[in-house]
Amino acid sequence: MLTAPGKPSLLLLLVAWLVGCAGSAACGSPPSDDRRGEPIFNGRDLSGWKGLVRDPIARSKMSPETLAAEQRKADELVRAHWRVENGEIINDGHGPHLCTERHYRDFELWLDWKISPGADSGIYLRGSPQVQIWDTIHGIEPAKVGSGGLYNNQKHRSTPLVKADRPAGEWNAFHIRMIGERVTVTLNGQLVVDDVPMENYWDRSRPIFVSEQIELQTHGGEIRFRDIRLREIGADEANEYLRTRDADGFTPLFNGADLTGWIGSTSGYFVQDGVLICDPATGGTLLTSDEYADFTLRFEFRLPPGGNNGLALRAPATGNPAYEGMEIQILDDTHEKYANLLPWQYHGSVYGLVPAHRGYLRPVGEWNFEEVTLKGSRLTVVLNGTVIVEHDLAAITEPMDGQPHPGLSRRSGHLGFMGHGDRVEFRNILIRPIAPDAADEVKGDDADGAP
């Protein structure tokens, strides 16, 4: 084999890596970082890990017996192609992905990885591809942008911000944070993905799964992993992150002390410890005294079992906001009494008009974070960091509930909450008006572009 002067061949690099680098500190150490998580790899064996059985959608359609049989086959292949040596998980470039037995929702993940020359791998988050790993020197042409990008994104950025890889044969360090659908990645201490939504590769019509397994991909060439740690992120921390990201221009609608600035059913709500609470005995519709046209609204809410409320948008001071304005459902749609809801009645739906993606509420009793952006006729609803509604209201010709909705034509109105006899709680209610002459694209676009 001929090689260019001064350039070792791929074969020589591979030999050097296998002989001189495996387990050697000389091949590069990960940068120092704050690994606060708990180990999910014990350094001795593959306890807590299993082989990959197809994809999350396919698994959900299998009977328990079929899934168990397929899992046994996958685990047998794992034993043939994955092993543990010297505190490292090693794959020979073949076999199924290695997956956590547990599912995870919001989390931080730390791990080190090392690939052989020409190899390709990745980290699947919530069962979905992937945070990319590849050899940026001897790999395929797209690899030259570097590792760490959300490779399978189409709508949002897929490439890393910078190339931060160490050469094949040296250890690299990932720190990955996932809250809702939003992912941030640092590689060897450098930011390569900055708060970008990760798309659902398996069904692009839906957001990414709310909770699923983490997978170590094998895709040709030996790959090694070590020091894999994970820290689960609870609701309060996740909500604080979502509330404080891109926070310029937001001002409080609720002062945390009383109902100054609110009109309507002021006797149906009360304030306790900085929380606005709907009185289940009276409830009713509580509205802002000011009207708003285009805006982004942020708030947190907590539902009791079976709790029901609503968010009024562009509503008049009188009448039913669900029809005279618009209503975004606030609802524990997991309760058995709502087993027969229609699609436009689930939480986050525009009542009677637009169905929301279901399944992204936190467990009953935990605080949820919601963000609603209304710009002209474009409406976006984000629940706990995941987009559950994205719709052009001007495209509605026939309401789903068959009722007239004159509020669709309104371009401004009051905001507020619509109590329906349940103790639903609200806090951290913030608004950022969007100026009439603002650009059509609302602040916070994550479109792909050159790194």
Q: The domain spanning residue 71 has which CATH number?
A: 2.60.120.560
Percent of the chain with pLDDT over 70: 89
Residue 307 lies in a domain: yes
**pLDDT, the chain, mean:** 91
Q: Are residues 194 and 58 in the same domain?
A: yes
> Who wins on pLDDT, 337 or 445?
337
Question: Long-range contacts for 44-48 (Cβ within 8 Å, ≥24 apart)?
Answer: 44/84, 44/87, 45/84, 46/78, 46/82, 46/84, 46/89, 46/98, 48/100, 48/101, 48/102
Q: What is the pLDDT of residue 33?
A: 56
Least confident segment among 3-7, 50-54, 398-402 = 3-7
pLDDT value of residue 11 = 40
Residues 215 and 248 in one domain: no
Helix (H) or strand (E) holding 3: none
Higher pLDDT, 334 or 26: 334
Q: What is the band of 378 on the pLDDT scale with cuts at 50, 70, 90?
A: very high
Specify the pLDDT at position 361.
98
- Other beta carbons within 10 Å of 305: 12
Residues 133, 279 within the same domain: no
Give the C-alpha distances (Å, rounded to integers) separating 370 from 213, 293, 323, 340.
Answer: 25, 19, 22, 24
Average pLDDT over residues 444-449: 45
Mean pLDDT calculated for residue range 412-432: 98
Q: Which residues contact 114 (CB under 8 A, 6 or more apart)?
A: 21, 27, 168, 169, 170, 171, 172, 223, 224
Enter the tokens of residue 15. 């030999």
Q: How confident is the model at residue 438 (pLDDT cuts 50, 70, 90)?
A: low
| 59 lies in the same domain as 167 | yes
Shared domain check, 68 and 165: yes
Classified as helix, coil or strand, 343 is helix
Q: Are residues 241 and 93 in the same domain?
A: no
Per-residue burial over 171-187, b if 16 or more Cβ lie within 10 Å, else e, is bbbbbbbbbbbbbbbbb
Domain end point (choices 170, 198, 232)? 232
Quickly state the pLDDT bin for 445 (edges 50, 70, 90): very low
Reduce the DSSP state of residue 86 to 3 states and report it.
coil
Same domain, 223 and 124: yes
Specify whether 348 is located in the same domain as 206: no
Q: Assess if residue 42 is contained within a domain.
A: yes
pLDDT above 90 for 2: no
Q: Are 134 and 173 in contact (CB under 8 A)?
A: no
What is the bridge-based pairing of β-strands 251-252 and 262-264?
unpaired
What's the predicted TM-score (pTM) here?
A: 0.88
CB 326 within 8 A of CB 312: yes
Domain identity same for 154 and 263: no
Q: Is the pLDDT of residue 15 over 80?
A: no
Q: Is 363 found in the same domain as 329?
A: yes
How many domains is the chain built from? 2
Length of the chain in terms of residues written: 451
Give 100's contacts (C-beta < 8 A, 6+ positions apart): 40, 48, 49, 50, 213, 214, 215
120 in a structural domain: yes
Q: Are 255 and 261 in contact (CB under 8 A)?
A: yes
Residue 447 predicted with pLDDT over 50:
no
Q: Are residues 282 and 198 in the same domain?
A: no
The b-or-e profile of 307-323 (16+ CB within 10 A means b, else e) is: bbbbbbbbbbeeeebbb
Range of the domain at 317: 237-433
Domain stops at, among 186, 212, 232 = 232
Same domain, 228 and 105: yes
Residue 144: phi and psi, rounded to 5, are -65, -20
pLDDT at 218 over 70: yes
**Structure-token pair, residue 367:** 């605080």
Residues 6+ apart with CB under 8 A from 276: 254, 269, 417, 425, 426, 427, 429
**106: pLDDT confidence band, cut at 50, 70 and 90?**
very high
Is 182 inside a domain boundary? yes
Least confidently predicted of 8-17, 216-225, 283-292: 8-17
Show the tokens assigned to 215: 């997978």
DSSP 350: B
Q: Per the domain annotation, does 443 fall within a domain?
A: no
Residue 214 has pLDDT above 70, yes or no: yes
253, two tokens:
């609608």
Task: Spell out a b/e string for 394-431, using b for 16 or more CB atoms within 10 Å of the CB, else e.
Answer: eebeebbeeeebebbebeebbbbbbbbbbbbbbbbbbb
